[in-house]
A and B are shown apart, each in its own frame.
Chain A
C-alpha cells in the first residue's frame, strides 16, 4: 500500500496572543509546528504501516522552513518526503493550493490512500480534503478518527456532526483525519538524527509541476480583521435563584451560547 499524507506547517497558535482592545495580533514565539490534524493523519498512516506494511510519503506545500515539518514526519516513520516550495506559491489561496497538491499527488501515483488533516488550526480552513478528493476523483471519508484495513476495504470510524459512525470504502480513497483522532507518537531519537543526516526531502517547484506564476495568483483578498468585544469582567449580581438563573440564560443567549 502506498499512502500520501499532506502535512501543513503552521505557526504554533499557542505562541500567538490576540489583543482585542488594541485589535492586534502578537506573535510571542515564532515556533512552527505540524498542523495538529495533519499530525493525526500522519499517525493514522503510520498505524496502517505498522499493521500491514505500507510506504508512507509525506507531502507539504509551504515555505522552505516546512523542511522541518517533513524531517519530523520522516523521524516519525514516513519513508519519503516531498516539499512543494516556490516563491510563486507565496500567498496562494485555498482553491489553487488544492490544485497544486492534487497535481503533486498525481505525480506520486499510484497512491492507494491520500490522508490529510480535516482542519487547519491557524486559518480554520476546512476544505482542502474535499477539494482534493474531487480533483483526484476519489471517494472521501471526512472527520475520521480510526482506520483499519478489513480485507480489501478500509473501515473507518468517523464523526458525523460529532457523533461516531462506521463506514467502509475501498482504496483508492481520500481520508480526512479529525484532530480528535489519536495523536502522533514520539519520534525515536536515532530516527531524528537519521531524518536530518541520511534521509532526503525532495523539493518540487511550481514549474516542476507545470504551473505558471499567472495560474497561481491569488483570487481571494482580505478586507481586514474583526475582533470580538473585549471581555468585561467582575460584574457581580445577587438575588433569588430563579432570577439568577434568568440572568445567566439571558447572558448565554446574548453571547449566542444557547
Chain B
C-alpha cells in the first residue's frame, strides 16, 4: 500500500475542504463626486466575468452609508453590496478601515478581493494581505482565473511595464489584487440587475494613528520630466508663443508636461530644464507628442524609450516620421487647436 499516495489523497481532500470555505469575489469600491469611480465600475465588470467562470457571487464593499453607489455597484455586476459603517469609517483612515475590512473578510471568506491600484487601495491591500498571510498582486493590468485550480491569474508589470508576468498562487486564500485604473474596459450598466445592499456596522474600531494636516501649503516642486507619463514637446515648427500655449494646454489636459527641442529653447519658449535630448533630459514617457520638431538625432536620443511617439510636422519628409508610431503631416498649431477643442468637448 502506498502510504504517501494515501496521505496526499487525504491531504488533498482536506485542502479541497478548506478551499471550498473560501468563495466569491469581492470588490472594494471607491466613490467620487458622481458616484463610483470609473475604475471601480471597470473592476466590477471584470469581477463579474471571473465570477461567472467560477460560478460564484460578486460582492461589493463600500465605506459609509453610500446607498446610491451601492445600487450602482449592483448595476455593474455585484450581487450583494456591504456598506460598512461605524465610528472611524466616516473619512479615510488606515486603522479603522483595515480592521473593519478584516472582520468582514474573516466572516465572509472571499476567495478573491480586488482593489483599485489607487492610494486608497494601496493603503489597505498590503495590510490586509499581511494579516491573512495571503498573496497580493499589485498594479495588475489584467486578471483571469485558472478554473481547474480555482486560482486568480494576475498580470503584473515588470521593469515599469517593459513586459508583464502572469502570477498565480495555487493554494493561498484569500487572494488580493490591486488593478491599475484605466486599463480595464468600461462595462455596461444594467439598471435592472437584481441584488441587495446590506448595512453592516462595526463598533470599537481602532483609532487612526496618522493625522492629516491638510494639503501641502507651498506645493511641491514638480516631479522631474523623466517621470512624466505624458510629454508634449514643442519644436521650432510650433510657430509662436500661441502655439506653445496650445501645447501646454494639451499637456495639462492629458495630465502631462510641456518640454521642447533646442529650436524651442533658442526661441525662448521653454527653459533649460525642459530641453529634451543629448544636451538636455532623457525621458521615457508612455506618450510623447512632438509638435513641429524636426527629429534631429540629438533630440531623438532623449526619447529612445518612448512607448508611443506622435509627430506633427508640415514636411512629409521630416526626419522624425520614421521614428513615430503616428506621423501627421499638418500644421502643428492647427492640430493642437483641434485636439484641445475635441478634449474640451469631453469626448
Shortest beta-carbon distance, A181 to chain B, in Å?
10
Interface flag for A168 (CB, 8 Å): yes
CB <8 Å contact, B216 and A226: no
CB <8 Å contact, A93 and B159: no
* Number of CB contacts from chain A to chain B under 8 A: 247
Name the A residues within 8 Å of B138 (CB-CB): 124-127
CB <8 Å contact, A244 and B126: no
Question: What class of interface size applies to chain B in its complex with A?
Answer: 35 or more
Residue of A nearest to B117 (CB): A126
Name the A residues within 8 Å of B321 (CB-CB): 234, 236
CB <8 Å contact, B209 and A164: no
CB <8 Å contact, B342 and A129: no
**A235-B156 contact, Cβ under 8 Å, with A130-B130, A165-B216, A245-B342:** no
Interface flag for A98 (CB, 8 Å): yes
User: How far, in whole Å, are A161 and B92 apart by their CA atoms in the complex?
Assistant: 14
CB <8 Å contact, A18 and B162: yes
**A233-B338 contact, Cβ under 8 Å, with A140-B123, A157-B216:** no
User: How far, in whole Å, are A164 and B219 apart by their CA atoms in the complex?
Assistant: 7
Interface flag for B296 (CB, 8 Å): no
Interface flag for B16 (CB, 8 Å): no
Name the A residues within 8 Å of B139 (CB-CB): 124, 126
Interface flag for A90 (CB, 8 Å): no
CB <8 Å contact, A241 and B337: yes
User: How far, in whole Å, are A170 and B211 apart by their CA atoms in the complex?
Assistant: 9
Interface flag for B330 (CB, 8 Å): yes
Interface flag for B322 (CB, 8 Å): yes
Interface size on A, residues (CB 8 A): 80
Interface flag for A135 (CB, 8 Å): yes
Name the B residues within 8 Å of A128 (CB-CB): 126
Name the B residues within 8 Å of A232 (CB-CB): 325
User: How far, in whole Å, are A237 and B126 apart by their CA atoms in the complex?
Assistant: 47
Interface flag for A94 (CB, 8 Å): yes
Shortest beta-carbon distance, B273 to chain A, in Å?
16
Most chain B CB within 10 A, of A121, A132, A134, A246, is at A134
Majority secondary structure, B binding face: mixed
Residue-wise interface mask of B (165-189) relative to A, using a CB-CB cutoff of 8 A (1 in contact, 0 not)? 1111111100000100011000000
Name the A residues within 8 Å of B133 (CB-CB): 95, 99
Shortest beta-carbon distance, B285 to chain A, in Å?
10
For chain B residues 141-175, which have a beta carbon within 8 Å of chain A?
Answer: 153, 155-172
Name the B residues within 8 Å of A214 (CB-CB): none
Of B158, B224, B331, which contacts A124 at CB under 8 A?
A: B158
Of B126, B163, B254, which contacts A131 at CB under 8 A?
A: B126
The segment out of A48-56, A107-115, A188-196, A217-225 that lies at the interface is A217-225
CB <8 Å contact, B326 and A142: no
User: How far, in whole Å, are A155 and B214 apart by their CA atoms in the complex?
Assistant: 11
Interface flag for B56 (CB, 8 Å): no
For chain B residues 238-261, which have a beta carbon within 8 Å of chain A?
Answer: 254
**A139-B95 contact, Cβ under 8 Å, with A126-B138, A242-B338:** yes
Interface flag for A145 (CB, 8 Å): yes
Name the B residues within 8 Å of A221 (CB-CB): 167-170
CB <8 Å contact, B127 and A257: no
Name the A residues within 8 Å of B287 (CB-CB): 252, 255, 257
CB <8 Å contact, B183 and A256: yes
CB <8 Å contact, A225 and B165: yes
Interface flag for A163 (CB, 8 Å): yes
Name the B residues within 8 Å of A122 (CB-CB): 158-159
Residue of A nearest to B318 (CB): A236
Q: Beyond A163-B215, A166-B216, A248-B339: 13 further Cβ-contacts under 8 Å?
A: A124-B139, A126-B138, A127-B138, A131-B136, A133-B126, A159-B119, A168-B210, A223-B166, A235-B327, A237-B326, A237-B327, A245-B341, A257-B230
30 A–B contacts from the bound complex (CB under 8 Å): A18-B162, A94-B136, A123-B158, A126-B126, A127-B125, A128-B126, A130-B123, A134-B127, A139-B210, A142-B123, A160-B119, A161-B118, A161-B119, A164-B220, A223-B167, A225-B164, A226-B166, A228-B164, A234-B324, A234-B327, A235-B325, A235-B326, A236-B316, A236-B327, A241-B334, A245-B338, A248-B310, A255-B287, A257-B230, A258-B254
